[in-house]
Amino acid sequence: MVTTGERKGARAAPGARRALVWSFANTAIGKFGTLLISIAIARLLGPDAFGTYAVALVALAAVLSFNELGISLAIVRWEGDPRRIAPTVATISTAASLVFFLVAWMLTPAFAAAMGDPSATDVVRLMLVCVPLNGIVATPAALLQRDFQQGRRAAADQVNIWLGAGISVVLAALGWGAMSLAIGRVVASVVFSGMLVAFCPSGIRFGWDRAVVGPLLRFGLPLAGSSLVVFAVGYADQLVVGTTLGTQALGFYLLAFNLASWPVMILSQPIRAVAPAAFARIQAQRDLMDRTFRDGLRLLTAVALPACAFIAGAAFPIVSFVYGPQWEPAALALQWLALQAAIRIVFELSYDFLAVLRKSKTLLIVQLVWLALLIPALLIGARLGGTGGVALAQFVVAGIVLVGCYGWALGRAGVHLVALARTTLVPLLFGLVALGGSLLISAFVPGAFVASLLAGLFCTAVIGGALLCSRRSVAAFRGVGVEGSPA
């Protein structure tokens, strides 16, 4: 029986639903607000300088993928008091990040040369300053996520986004080129890190508890290995484009990748800020986890599939109107990358679900299979079709991995696959309608602005229809975090 005191406590505690609303608002405001800034930067820099920044971004992402050895997630899913392990996690993550920073600093000239842009060395090295900052604040960030403190996290994220973007635009206008983006990123990261430390109730405490070091490393190292492979999967396309097609092609490809990632950032990232902690609280109830996962996936895909289909179908008018005719080659890759983004959203929710269930080795196997299929496909795609061929290879391999590997992993984790397939059938049909409508509008409506606008309105209506047909999942979401809801 739930006592009155427990009910009051449940109401007082920040629940998953409120945290999710904060995450959505935070991401939507930040991403839509900085859209105008990204347009200005792209127009100011052009494809060449944008390609140099892409080289630095790939290097930073590579180190961050395994920077804190995967142990910060242990705080989110720790079944006891996470503050017991927090000092040890802080020590390990900080020490590891400093080591990785030094190694990456020394390897930067060789990496920049391999990417076809030796002049990017200084930009890459400056961006690497974010590595130790990330390691230092890994523990406060995980504690805020564990406690559903997305309101505080939202404040820090908004400062990070706007401060960095503002500095970058000013410096780009003054002619600083790709270095303007790196300076803005580092300055904003310093301020962002300080805010996370200030917002975390326990701050940063360093310590060493030998009793928890072994369990932490056994949990984190497979995830770190998996995250490194995830990076290779996520950035292999940019590495292939940079090394085989050149820096300018990488600039076009990065712009397409950023545009295609908008649905991922708007929809998937807020959910990933909440999902691990929410799944962790019901991990002992496998049937409930199965139902919760399927409801979340249905709601997510009902919005994501039509949104990604809109970007894919209207790729040429969107790029031409938003960024200008000089960026039109980016649309060749955007068509396929937008469709692949829909698969990424499903991947990421599945990844978090399996990570909470401690399926670290399974995740690593899936990622290794994906990487083994992806590398030759990307090389063939680059040779036969340029940036568009690389993007097509990404989409085809992702589809194979989704059905084969992730289906196998989720089935082993107790998810009812037939029910899961039925869950995504209606969103998939609505996504195909959105894709067909956007292609027709783009082909027959003159003018990039008008075509983009009409395709967007059409897909908004399609999303409304998909949500209307997903009323049960919407109702389940509304119950998350309120009294009587086990999730």
Question: In this predicted model, what pLDDT tens digit does every residue of 100-143 receive, in sequence order?
Answer: 899 989 999 988 888 878 888 998 899 899 888 988 888 888 77
* Residue in this structure with the two tokens 């063939």, named with its chain if needed: 380
**What HEC string does 167-197 produce?**
HHHHHHHCCCCHHHHHHHHHHHHHHHHHHHH
* Residue in this structure with the two tokens 């590891």, named with its chain if needed: 96
Q: Residue 404 corresponds to which amino acid? A: G
416 has a pLDDT exceeding 70: yes
CA–CA separation, 293 and 480 (whole Å): 12
Among 451, 346, 357, smallest CA distance to 401 is for 346
CA–CA separation, 255 and 251 (whole Å): 6
The residue among 70 and 42 whose pLDDT is bigger is 42
Model confidence pLDDT, tens digit, residues 241-292: 988 888 888 889 988 988 888 887 777 666 666 666 667 666 667 677 777 7
13 has a pLDDT exceeding 60: no
220 has a pLDDT exceeding 70: no
Mean pLDDT rounded to a whole number for the chain:
80
Average pLDDT of span 42-60: 77
487 has a pLDDT exceeding 50: no
Under the banding of pLDDT at 50, 70 and 90, the label for residue 28 is: low
Average pLDDT of span 426-448: 93
pTM above 0.75, yes or no: no
* Percent of the chain at pLDDT exceeding 90: 21
Show Cβ contacts of residue 152 under 8 Å, excluding neighbours closer than 6 positions. Answer: 144, 199
Question: What are the backbone angles phi and psi of residue 149, rounded to the nearest 5°?
Answer: -90, 55
63 has a pLDDT exceeding 50: yes
CA–CA separation, 56 and 61 (whole Å): 9
**Burial (CB count within 10 angstroms: exposed 0-12, middle 13-18, buried 19+), residue 14:** middle
153 has a pLDDT exceeding 70: yes
Q: Residue 283 corresponds to which amino acid? A: Q
Token pair in block for residue 56: 């630095």
Contact 282, 293 (CB under 8 A): no
Under the banding of pLDDT at 50, 70 and 90, the label for residue 376 is: very high
**Burial (CB count within 10 angstroms: exposed 0-12, middle 13-18, buried 19+), residue 243:** middle
Under the banding of pLDDT at 50, 70 and 90, the label for residue 455 is: very high
65 has a pLDDT exceeding 80: no
Specify the pLDDT at position 7: 42
Least confident of 7-16, 264-273, 342-351: 7-16
Q: Residue 163 corresponds to which amino acid? A: L
**Burial (CB count within 10 angstroms: exposed 0-12, middle 13-18, buried 19+), residue 45:** buried
CA–CA separation, 452 and 449 (whole Å): 5
Among 34, 10, 299, smallest CA distance to 160 is for 34
Model confidence pLDDT, tens digit, residues 225-238: 666 777 777 788 98
Contact 57, 301 (CB under 8 A): no
Contact 377, 396 (CB under 8 A): yes
Token pair in block for residue 137: 């604040």
Show Cβ contacts of residue 108 under 8 Å, excluding neighbours closer than 6 positions. Answer: 59, 121, 124, 125, 128
Residue ranges per domain, the chain? Answer: 11-236, 261-487
Token pair in block for residue 482: 């309120």
Show Cβ contacts of residue 37 under 8 Å, excluding neighbours closer than 6 positions. Answer: 165, 166, 168, 169
Specify the pLDDT at position 22: 58
- H/E segment holding residue 370: helix 360-401
Q: Residue 433 corresponds to which amino acid? A: V
The residue among 454 and 47 whose pLDDT is bigger is 454
* Percent of the chain at pLDDT exceeding 70: 79
Contact 182, 52 (CB under 8 A): no
Specify the pLDDT at position 479: 52
* Residue in this structure with the two tokens 């401690």, named with its chain if needed: 358
Give how far Cα 376 sits from Cα of 83, 243, 262, 394, 403, Å: 45, 14, 27, 11, 20
Specify the pLDDT at position 413: 77
Under the banding of pLDDT at 50, 70 and 90, the label for residue 438 is: very high
Specify the pLDDT at position 19: 58
Among 270, 159, 140, smallest CA distance to 197 is for 140
Angle between helices 330-356 and 286-313 (to 10 degrees): 180
99 has a pLDDT exceeding 60: yes
Specify the pLDDT at position 227: 67
- H/E segment holding residue 211: helix 210-245
223 has a pLDDT exceeding 80: no
336 has a pLDDT exceeding 70: yes
48 has a pLDDT exceeding 80: no
352 has a pLDDT exceeding 70: yes
The residue among 56 and 218 whose pLDDT is bigger is 56
The residue among 376 and 34 whose pLDDT is bigger is 376
Is the four-CA dihedral 317, 319, 322, 323 of positive or negative sign?
A: negative
Under the banding of pLDDT at 50, 70 and 90, the label for residue 42 is: confident
470 has a pLDDT exceeding 80: no
Specify the pLDDT at position 473: 65
